[in-house]
Structure 1
Amino acid sequence: IVSDCSFVASLAVSALYERRFGRRLVTSIIYPRNSRKEPIYNPFGKYMVKLHINGVPRKIIIDDQLPLGRHGELLCSYSSNKNELWISLLEKAYMKVMGGYDFPGSNSNIDLHALTGWIPERVAIRNNEPDFNADALFDKLLTRLEKGDVLVTAATGELSDAEADRTGLVATHAYAVLDVRREQGLRLLKLKNPWSHLRWRGNYSELDKLHWTPQLQRLLNFDPNSAAMFDNGVFWIDYDSILKFFDVFYLNWNPKLFNYTFCLHQSWKTGLGPIKDAYNIGENPQFFLQVDQGGSGAVWILLTRHITQIEDFKENREYITVLVYRNNGKRVFYPNDPPPFIDGVRINSPHYLCKLVLNESSPRRYTLVVSQYEKMHTIFYTLRAYATCPISLGKIPNQYEHVKQTVTQQRSLYPTILQVSDGQWNGETAGGCGNHPNTHLNNPRYQVTLESGNNKNQLLLDLKGPKQYQVGLDIICVVASDPNAPGAFTKKHTGAFRSGFVVMPLEDVPAGTYDIVPSTFLPGQEGPFFLTVKSSCPFKLARLR
Structure 2
Amino acid sequence: MTKTIADAENIYTRAVTYEVENEWNNAFKLYLEAAEAFLHISRSSDSRYRNNAAKALERAEKIRQYKSDLAPISIDQFSKREPIDVIPTASLTSLVLLPSDIIQTIVNDCSVCASIAVCIQHHLRFKSNLLLSSLYPSIHDGRYDLKVLVNGDFRRVIIDDRLPFDHNNNLLGVSTGPKNQLWPSFVEKAYMKLMGGYDFLGSNSAIDLHVLTGWIPEHIDLQSASFERERTWSRIITGFPKGDCIMTVGTNDKTALKIDNVNLLPSHDYAVTDIRESHDERWVTLLDSRICTPSCECDSSACPRVLDMRWDDICATFEGLYISWTPSLFNNTIAFHGSWQPENSEDIPRASTHHLRLNYQKDPSDANEIEIWVLLTRHLRDTRRTSEYIALSVQEDDTIFGNPEDVALKSNYTNSTHVLSRIKLSQNQTSGSLYLLACYDGQFEEVGFTITAYSYSSIAISWDTVVPPPRYTHKIDGTLTSKTAGGNCTHPTYMVNPQYHLRLHNASPSPSTCKRHSANANTNSKTQVILTAHSTRDISLNVTAVWSQGERISELTQKEVVAHSGPYTYGHARAAAHLAAGDYTIILSAFEPDQTGKFTLKVESPSRFEIKPILQEGAGMYAKTVRGEWNSTTAAGAPSQNRYHRNPVYEFNIPCASEFGARLQLLHRAPGVSTNLSLFPSSSSNLQRPITSSGPYSDALSGVDIPKRPLAAGKYYLVPSTYHPGVQAQFRVIIYSTVSGIEVSLR
Partner of 1:460: 473
The residue that corresponds to 1:45 in the other structure is 142
Structure 1 residue 49: deviation in Å?
0.9
TM-superposed CA distance for 1:154, in Å, is 0.8
The match for 1:285 is: 354
Out of 97, 120, 124, the residue aligned to residue 15 of structure 1 is 120
CA distance in 2, matches of 1:191, 1:274: 47
Distance 1:17 1:172, change over 3 A: same
- Alpha-carbon deviations, 1:491-540, whole Å to 9, x = none? 9556214348665434277xxxx9x57452569857xxxxxxxxxxxxxx
C-alpha offsets along residues 103-131 of structure 1, whole Å, 9 cap, x if unaligned? 111111111111110000011112x73x4
Output one character per residue of 1:60-81: Cα deviation in whole Å (capped at 9) or x when no partner.
1111011111222211113346
Larger RCO, structure (CA 8 Å, separation 6 or more): 1
Q: Secondary structure in 1 aligned to 2:192?
A: helix
Q: Do structure 1's residue 65 and structure 2's residue 94 form an aligned pair?
A: no
Distance 1:14 1:160, change over 3 A: closer
Alignment: residue pair count: 411
Partner of 2:374: 301
* Amino acid paired to 1:152: M
Give the TM-score taking structure 1 as reference length: 0.67
Q: Distance in 2 between matches of 1:329 and 1:387?
A: 22
Kept after mapping to 2: 8 A contact 1:329/1:366: no
Deviation at 1:167, TM superposition (A): 4.7
Asked if 1 retains the 8 angstrom alpha-carbon contact of 2:174 and 2:185, the reply is yes
Which residue of 251, 273, 285 corresponds with 2:323?
A: 251
The CA distance in 2 between the partners of 1:10 and 1:145, in whole Å, is 15
Residue 23 of structure 1 aligns to a residue in which SS?
coil
Q: 1:108 to 1:138 in 2, by over 3 A?
A: same
Superposed displacement of residue 307, structure 1: 1.3
Q: Which residue type is aligned with residue 392 of structure 1?
A: S
* SS of corresponding position for 1:76: coil
8 Å contact kept, 2:340–2:440: no
Change (3 A) 1:150 1:276: farther
Pairing 1:507–2:507 present: no
In the alignment, which residue of structure 2 is the partner of 1:361?
428
Q: Deviations over 1:147-200 (max 9, x none)?
A: 0000111112244556589652112211110001111122111111011548xx
CA distance in 1, matches of 2:265, 2:161: 32
**Alignment of structure 1 residues 323-334 onto 2, 5 Å:** 323-328=393-398
Task: Name the amino acid aligned to 2:264.
Answer: L
The corresponding residue for 2:741 is: none
The one-letter code sitting in structure 1 at the alignment partner of 2:245 is V
- The reply to whether residue 136 of structure 1 matches residue 235 of structure 2 is no
Written as runs of structure 1 = structure 2, the 5 A alignment for 1:164-203 is: 167-197=262-292
Aligned-pair identity (%): 30
Q: How many angstroms apart in 1 are the aligned matches of 2:178 and 2:261?
A: 33
Unaligned runs of 5+ residues in structure 1 are 33-40, 199-205, 207-225, 401-457, 478-484, 527-545
Q: What residue number does 1:218 align with?
A: none
User: Paired residue for 2:740?
Assistant: none
Pair 1:520–1:6, CA change in 2 (3 A): same
Question: Aligned pair 1:267/2:339, yes or no?
Answer: yes
Residues 108 and 153 of structure 1 are in contact (CA less than 8 Å); yes or no, is this contact kept in structure 2?
yes
Query: Aligned partners of 1:493 and 1:185: how far apart in 2?
Result: 60
Deviation for aligned residue 1:474: 3.9
Distance across 2 between alignment mates of 1:297 and 1:31? 39
Q: Which residue of 2 aligns with 1:352?
A: 419
Comparing 167-176 with 374-383, greater Cα deviation is found at 374-383
User: C-alpha separation between the residues in 1 aligned to 2:614 and 2:392?
Assistant: 33
Instruction: Give the 3-state SS of the residue equivalent to 2:193 in structure 1.
Output: helix
| Cα deviation, residue 19, structure 1 | 1.4
Specify the SS of the correspondent of 1:12: helix
CA distance in 1, matches of 2:410, 2:129: 37
Q: SS of the counterpart of 2:606?
A: strand
Give runs of aligned pairs for residues 46-195 of structure 1, distance below 5 A.
46-80=143-177, 82=179, 84-126=181-223, 129=225, 131-159=226-254, 161=256, 163=258, 167-195=262-290
For residues 616 and 452 of structure 2, what CA distance do their matches in structure 1 show?
A: 46
- In structure 1, the partner of 2:541 is none
2:501 maps to which of 472, 477, 480:
472
Inter-CA distance 497–168: structure 2 relative to 1 (3 Å threshold) = closer
Distance 1:466 1:190 in 2: 51
Give the gaps of 5 or more residues in structure 2: 1-105, 485-497, 507-513, 515-523, 528-579, 589-598, 621-747
Quote the Cα distance in structure 2 between the aligned partners of 1:94 and 1:366.
35
* Aligned-partner Cα distance in 1 for 2:227–2:526: 49
Tell whether the 8 Å contact from 2:504 to 2:607 is kept in structure 1 after alignment.
no
Moved more, 375-384 or 98-107: 375-384
For 1:91 and 1:158, the matched residues in 2 are separated by 24
CA 320–465 in structure 1, closer or farther in 2 if over 3 Å, else same: closer
**Is contact 1:472–1:498 with CA below 8 Å preserved after alignment?**
no
| TM-superposed deviation, 1:459 | 2.3
Whether the 8 Å contact between 1:164 and 1:171 is mirrored in structure 2 is no
Aligned-partner Cα distance in 2 for 1:377–1:86: 39
Deviations, residues 55-100 of structure 1 (Å, cap 9, x unaligned): 2111111110111112222111133464632111111110110001
Match for residue 448 of structure 1?
A: none
Cα distance between partner residues in 2 of 1:275 and 1:340: 28
Instruction: Provide the secondary structure at the position in 2 that maps to 1:251.
Output: strand
Choose the corresponding residue for 2:584, options 479, 488, 495: 495
Conserved in 2, the CA contact under 8 Å of 1:124 and 1:249? yes
The verdict on how the C-alpha distance between 1:3 and 1:318 changes in structure 2, with shifts beyond 3 A counting, is: closer
Amino acid at match of 1:16: Q
Would the aligned equivalents of 2:397 and 2:404 in 1 still touch at CA under 8 Å?
Answer: no
CA contact (8 A) 1:289 1:329 kept: no
Match of 1:520 in 2: 614
1:391 partner SS: strand
The higher radius of gyration belongs to 2
Which residue of 2 is the match for residue 233 of structure 1? 305
Structure 2 Cα separation of the partners of residues 22 and 517 of structure 1: 63
Of 257-266 and 233-242, more deviation after overlay is shown by: 233-242
What corresponds to 1:421 in structure 2? none
Residue of structure 1 in register with 2:453 after alignment:
385
Q: AA paired with 1:68?
A: F
Pick which of 103-112 and 264-273 moved more. 264-273
C-alpha separation in 1, matches of 2:316 and 2:415: 24
Checking the alignment, whether the CA contact within 8 Å between 1:150 and 1:252 is kept in structure 2 is yes
What is the CA-CA distance between 1:270 and the residue it aligns to? 3.3
Q: Distance in 1 between matches of 2:305 and 2:444?
A: 43
Helix, strand or coil at the partner of 1:16: helix
- Give how far 1:238 is off: 2.1
Distance 1:318-1:71 versus aligned 2 partners, 3 A rule: same
**TM-score of the aligned structures, taking structure 2 as reference length:** 0.50
CA distance in 2, matches of 1:367, 1:147: 33
1-side partners of 2:478 and 2:373: how far apart?
A: 38
1:387-416: per-residue Cα shift (whole Å, max 9, x none)?
A: 11210124675736xxxxxxxxxxxxxxxx
Measured after TM superposition, the shift of residue 466 of structure 1 is 6.0
Distance change (3 Å), C-alpha of 1:235 and 1:268: same
